[in-house]
Amino acid sequence: MSDPTPKVNRALRLDHAVMRWRARRVRENGYVATVIPYTGYGSTAWIRVLGRVVLDRPAAADAGEAAGARGWRNFTKVPVEDAEVEVRVGGTTAVVTADNSGIVDAVVDVDLEPGWHEITLSAEGSRPARAHVEVIDPDVGFGLVSDIDDTVMVTALPRPLLAAWHTFVVNEHARTTTPGMPVLYERLTSQHPGAPVIYLSTGAWNVAPTLTRFLSRNLYPRGALLLTDWGPTPDRWFRSGREHKRASLERLAEEFPDVRWLLVGDDGQHDEAIYGAFVARHAEKVAAVCIRQLSPGEAVLAGAGYRDHNVSGRAARVPWLYAPDGAGLAEKLDDTGLLAAPTPQPEVTP
């Protein structure tokens, strides 16, 4: 049997060659580098800087990232390979390097107080793009990791044809939020001030601006997005979404060893298996696992088969909670004591 690896390597080389050809063409037409900033996170001693460097028309670059209602526009931008990006935060200036897809994912040493901070990123003399990073208080012991598709946003994304439709065609304002989830997350962040919120998804970085606007418009708490690049790798045609989630959780556990995470996902695809493996390795770092149960119709669209939520054999110290929406998950969290019941409001006599 022949070794498929050389073919995948050729695919990677072809992908890079096409991108370089496109970059030369658009630069000849006056396109310039611009940075699309993403929300980052960190500690008082370091921050994780996230963003993407692409080529765009000068007018669009000067105006900043456009609001783009159609998702396909996010996939037509040409990345700047290995771009040098200047990062300014407080009195610190650092230069980091983007990868072959123009994605910036770098750690910068800082000396910052806990809370939200603004940073600027620029490449090739571009107009500085403003991003925000959350510096997590070292005394915070609780955090929230949430999936996006079919957990906070109803998409039925995993099925290929629907994935293409939702990603490239559907207007972002037509996407709907999962009932009760914004209220649940607001209660969690109110009860745990300073708790970091991380949105972990297998979606492409190209849709990060769209997802950020969706989360803000539907009143989800602000937090970092951890997405992935859909392009080929040295040994695969496409990057593994499951490996991306697994590696991200391991990194968070290493970066914040004193934080116990509430893991929220859905039963449409692989969240249960990914979270279960993480619990098996790091039960002491997990406060609970919340799984949103898809309706039968949603499960069919998501390509999910029979779902038997058998939690026997799982770490007894970690509650596994199942419900079809945010209100149901909140009730289950109330029962475990992980989420205090809302304070009853006094009746107002007219």
For 83-109, b/e burial (b = at least 16 CB within 10 A) is bebbbebeeeebebebbebbbbbbebe
Share of the chain above pLDDT 70, in %: 73
Whether residue 329 is found in the same domain as residue 228: yes
Amino acid identity, position 295: S
Closest C-alpha to 50, from 211, 257, 250, 166: 211
Whether residue 120 is found in the same domain as residue 152: no
Q: The CATH number of the domain where 258 resides is what?
A: 3.40.50.1000
In a domain, 347, yes or no: no
Instruction: Find the range with the poorest average confidence among 44-58, 231-245, 272-286.
Output: 231-245
- pLDDT tier for residue 234 given thresholds of 50, 70 and 90: very low
Q: The CATH number of the domain where 32 resides is what?
A: 2.60.40.10
> Which pLDDT score, from 0 to 100, does residue 340 have?
73
Last residue of some domain: 135, 160, 191? Answer: 135
Q: What is the pTM of this model?
A: 0.85
Amino acid identity, position 161: L
Please give the Cα distance from 271 to 157 (Å, whole number).
14
Last residue of some domain: 135, 163, 194? Answer: 135
- pLDDT tier for residue 313 given thresholds of 50, 70 and 90: very low
> Which pLDDT score, from 0 to 100, does residue 306 have?
45
Whether residue 304 is found in the same domain as residue 170: yes
Note down the domain range covering 248: 142-336
| DSSP structure class, residue 236 | B
In a domain, 272, yes or no: yes
Please give the Cα distance from 132 to 45 (Å, whole number).
16
Whether residue 131 is found in the same domain as residue 179: no
Whether residue 218 is found in the same domain as residue 332: yes
Higher pLDDT, 241 or 201: 201
Closest C-alpha to 154, from 139, 166, 165: 166
**Tally of structural domains, the chain:** 2
